[in-house]
Amino acid sequence: MKKRPTLREVAQLAGVSKATAARVVSGSSDPIREETRQRVYEAVERLGYERHAIAGSLRSARTYMIALSIPDITNPFWPEVARGIQDKLEEAGYTVVLLNNDWNVEREQTHLRRMGQKQFDGLIINPTGTLNSDLIKLRLPVVALAAGDSFPDFDTVSSDSAAAGRRALEHLLELGHRRIGIIAGQLRRRKSHTHLNTYTRLMEAHGLTVDPQLMIETDFSQESGYQALKQILAQPQPPTAVFAVNDILALGALQAAQAAQLAVPEQLSIIGMDDIFAAATAFPPLTTIAKPKYDIGLVAAQYLLERMNGTPISAPRHTLLPCTLVLRSSTAPPN
């Protein structure tokens, strides 16, 4: 079996010290002449040298591993977020490890215990049941994909969900709808605002009746969206429009409307949120609120890199990225 090339051999071939070769290979930001850096790169290429990550982490006290904790790997919202995170962190030499908890708080806590064992250099998390106090105990650079009021001690990055929900409902009101239903996800952690809050305030502001029978809280699944709309349509006075707080729920609602032989949007308008790929390919294509998924990941990764590198930052940053209305064919004025 061919012997694995060593860092010492790389240094000898490049005509530099082993310490200099190590700094180049590890991607260190230390000042090194470009000519020297290129000689090391050429030696690495000629020898087929691969950096031994475990040995490197023992020397540097870094693993170059970042954890991304999400609640639902089946939701098409997350791949674009993960891509933004990965693109930014891989540039800096880090590997991203995905941890999926399926909305299970106990599983999320198990993942956090691994953080405490120093298996990762940093964490980006969309919390299921984790609190600000739980993250403080980790003593680790963390960025939360959540609203800043729930995690005041950490950098947070999210879309402006409150404004997004308001825009979705305003779109239906602008079309002339006055009896509107809402399919919302179940509240899994304390929030200063929910889409149900937005719905209630906006309906009252327009002098409209808030009917609890048109307000459904359910799991974030397509089947749940189907069953929720089925329940709403069973009311004596069904709505002319429905806002589902993510596209998965909206697609389930669209199926339920079709099963009930309701024409969308002629007899029932449906609007979702997230703008996942399936929203554009549904029949009819789904009007939705587009969240900047890739940018959420990109900004979160940048914030984490700055924290891990010790960049002086005076206070936690709480960033809300704007969302946009995407008009398709599932909404129209009521008959």
Q: Are residues 100 and 22 in the same domain?
A: no
Q: Which domain CATH number covers 32?
A: 1.10.260.40
CB 239 within 8 Å of CB 214: yes
Which pTM does this prediction carry?
0.81
> What is the C-alpha separation between 30 and 27, in angstroms, rounded?
9
Q: Are residues 253 and 225 in the same domain?
A: yes
The residue with greater pLDDT, 324 or 92, is 324
Structure confidence at residue 118 (pLDDT): 67
21 burial class (0-12, 13-18, 19+ CB within 10 angstroms)? buried
Residue 335 in any domain: the answer is: no
Q: What is the DSSP string of 212-232?
A: GGGEEEE-SSHHHHHHHHHHH
57, two tokens = 């982490």
Residue 79 in any domain: the answer is: yes
Say whether pLDDT at 193 is over 80: no
Say whether pLDDT at 231 is over 70: yes
Q: Are residues 165 and 114 in the same domain?
A: no
Q: Are residues 81 and 111 in the same domain?
A: yes
Q: Are residues 181 and 286 in the same domain?
A: yes
Report the number of distinct structural domains present in the chain: 3
Q: Are residues 262 and 237 in the same domain?
A: yes
CB 96 within 8 Å of CB 89: yes
Structure confidence at residue 290 (pLDDT): 98
Residue of 106, 149, 145, 140 whose CA lies nearest to 124: 145
Structure confidence at residue 54 (pLDDT): 42
pLDDT in tens, 117-139: 667 899 999 999 999 999 999 98
Q: Which domain holds residue 12?
A: 7-51
- Pairing type for strands 287-290 and 269-274 reads parallel
Q: Which domain CATH number covers 233?
A: 3.40.50.2300
